[in-house]
């Protein structure tokens, strides 16, 4: 601005003197200077007004740019929601999320070993099943709470009613045509979210014995042995309370108390299933891992194998579940579980097909998954697992009381292999060929049937 003033003053003085060769006197010179000064002040005022106009225009442009950026951000967020990852919920309004999915499975076996299924043994068989889920969640950010509703329905038991095994082959089978509430709970964060209290109708497997790569039958392994430990007597979705405490980022302490009889709410907590778990969260070499250790007790009435008069016994056990990233694309896992081998639950949901009572002593499983990035399919998954289930020696020693089981009992360890390849079609559809092999089915005690069973299948997971 100073430079402009000097240039304008010079031009005005120059033009004035060029037009007037002689000044009459000192007074006329002073008058000329005053006129020049007025012109300069008028010019400065005009420049100042122009600066204000330019500043206002710039401010208006910045406001407009901000509005455009906000609009683009909201549009981008909306597009992300429309094309969210499979299984991810969609926010339909502030704090309210809706999720929906469907799983369809077809399986075939080369050797149907359930003598009560109405199908000749050693015959091929193909069966299907489907399940559907709708979830609704509401966040209460102002109080740190969350409510959750899970509706579920399905049809078909797949191959499970044709096979007698210690651990069956389709954890997703849901032969209930009616839509029902499987989860309904409220969760409250406490003490700056270091504590979480959850109560209502809960799924215990969502909080205990979890695993990053072997804990979801809709997208991971189908076999029950790889979904959760067969030696852990989880009640089905039932009334319960769960508390989690995170004293540090790398450790979580969890405790749950659940109604042992999920079908009976009129006598809630007369008999309870209690479980505690410690989880260590690691990050060795920037590779995440989870190391879980748990112990449980179930005071539902159990019966002694060696003394049938003792029919009000508790059961208990312990176990571990590890998962660890080995590289950016490979994650390994392992599980181990043990339970009291001297008792069994005659009302247990874990009866073998054909209503055969049995009990397990311990089990193990291990495996890995590989993400498809190395072969140019980043969202594909290749996974493999192997495991064994060991029956109780007390069960093995009891007298034969069922004409379906061969005598004497062999009660060998039942072995499982499973491999699947999850093919990502798009953000709403994935297809997974799945292959399982079981050796020593039901400890080779089904009417001398010692043949291994091969199960091949296809799973389609659809997320809306």
Q: How far is 451 from 441, CA to CA, in rounded Å? A: 8
Q: How far is 415 from 387, CA to CA, in rounded Å? A: 6
272-276, 343-347, 349-353, 457-461: least confidently modelled range: 349-353
User: Considering the chain, what percentage of its residues have pLDDT values greater than 90?
Assistant: 58
Supply the pLDDT for residue 90.
Answer: 66
**Where do the domains of the chain lie?**
2-75, 89-463
Q: How far is 332 from 24, CA to CA, in rounded Å? A: 104
Cα atoms found within 13 Å of the Cα of residue 463, Cβ hemisphere only:
23
Quote the pTM value. Answer: 0.79
**Average model confidence (pLDDT) for the chain?**
85
Quick one: fold of 89-463?
Porin (2.40.160)
44-53, 101-110, 282-291: least confidently modelled range: 44-53
Per-residue pLDDT of 91-139, as tens digits, reads 666 778 999 999 999 999 988 887 565 555 557 889 999 999 999 999 9
Supply the pLDDT for residue 75.
Answer: 39
Nearest in space to 111 (alpha carbons), one of 162, 181, 169: 162
Supply the pLDDT for residue 445.
Answer: 86
**Both structure tokens of 256:** 């749950």
């Amino acid at each position: 601005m100073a430079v402009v003033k000097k240039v304008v003053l010079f031009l005005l003085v120059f033009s004035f003197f060029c037009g007037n060769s002689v000044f009459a006197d000192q007074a006329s010179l002073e008058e000329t200077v005053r006129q020049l000064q007025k012109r300069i002040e008028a010019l400065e005022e005009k420049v100042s007004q122009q600066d204000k106009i330019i500043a206002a225009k710039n401010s208006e442009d910045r406001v407009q740019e901000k509005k455009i950026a906000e609009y683009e951000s909201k549009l981008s967020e909306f597009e992300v929601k429309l094309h969210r990852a499979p299984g991810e919920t969609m926010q339909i309004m502030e704090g309210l999320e809706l999720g929906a999915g469907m799983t369809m499975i077809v399986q075939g076996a080369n050797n149907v070993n359930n003598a009560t299924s109405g199908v000749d043994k050693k015959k091929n068989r193909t069966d299907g099943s489907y399940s559907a889920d709708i979830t609704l969640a509401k966040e209460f950010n102002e109080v740190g709470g969350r409510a959750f509703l899970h509706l579920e329905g399905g049809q078909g038991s797949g191959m499970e009613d044709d096979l007698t095994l210690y651990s069956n082959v389709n954890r997703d089978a849901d032969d209930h045509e009616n839509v029902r509430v499987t989860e309904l709970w409220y969760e409250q964060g406490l003490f700056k979210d270091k504590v979480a209290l959850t109560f209502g109708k809960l799924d215990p497997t969502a909080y205990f014995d979890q695993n990053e790569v072997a804990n979801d039958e809709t997208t991971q392994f189908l076999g029950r042995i790889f979904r959760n430990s067969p030696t852990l007597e989880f009640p089905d979705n039932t009334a319960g309370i769960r508390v989690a405490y995170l004293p540090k980022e790398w450790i979580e302490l969890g405790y749950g108390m659940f109604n042992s009889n999920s079908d009976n709410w009129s006598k809630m907590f007369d008999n309870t299933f209690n479980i505690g778990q410690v989880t260590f969260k690691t990050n060795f070499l920037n590779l995440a891992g989870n190391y879980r250790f748990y112990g449980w007790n179930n005071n539902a009435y159990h019966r002694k194998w060696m003394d049938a008069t003792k029919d009000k016994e508790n059961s208990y056990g312990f176990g571990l579940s590890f998962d660890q990233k080995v590289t950016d694309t490979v994650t390994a896992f392992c599980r181990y579980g043990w339970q009291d081998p001297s008792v069994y639950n005659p009302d247990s949901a874990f009866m073998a097909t054909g209503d055969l009572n049995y009990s397990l002593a311990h089990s193990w499983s291990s495996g890995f998954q590989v993400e498809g990035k190395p072969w140019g399919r980043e969202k594909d998954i290749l996974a493999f697992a192997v495991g064994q289930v060991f029956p109780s020696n007390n069960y093995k020693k009891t007298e034969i009381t069922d004409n379906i089981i061969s005598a004497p009992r062999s009660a060998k360890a039942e072995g499982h292999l499973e491999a699947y390849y999850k093919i990502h079609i798009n953000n709403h559809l994935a297809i997974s060929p799945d292959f399982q092999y079981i050796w020593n089915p039901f400890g080779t005690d089904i009417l001398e049937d010692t043949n291994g069973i091969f199960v091949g299948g296809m799973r389609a997971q659809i997320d809306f």
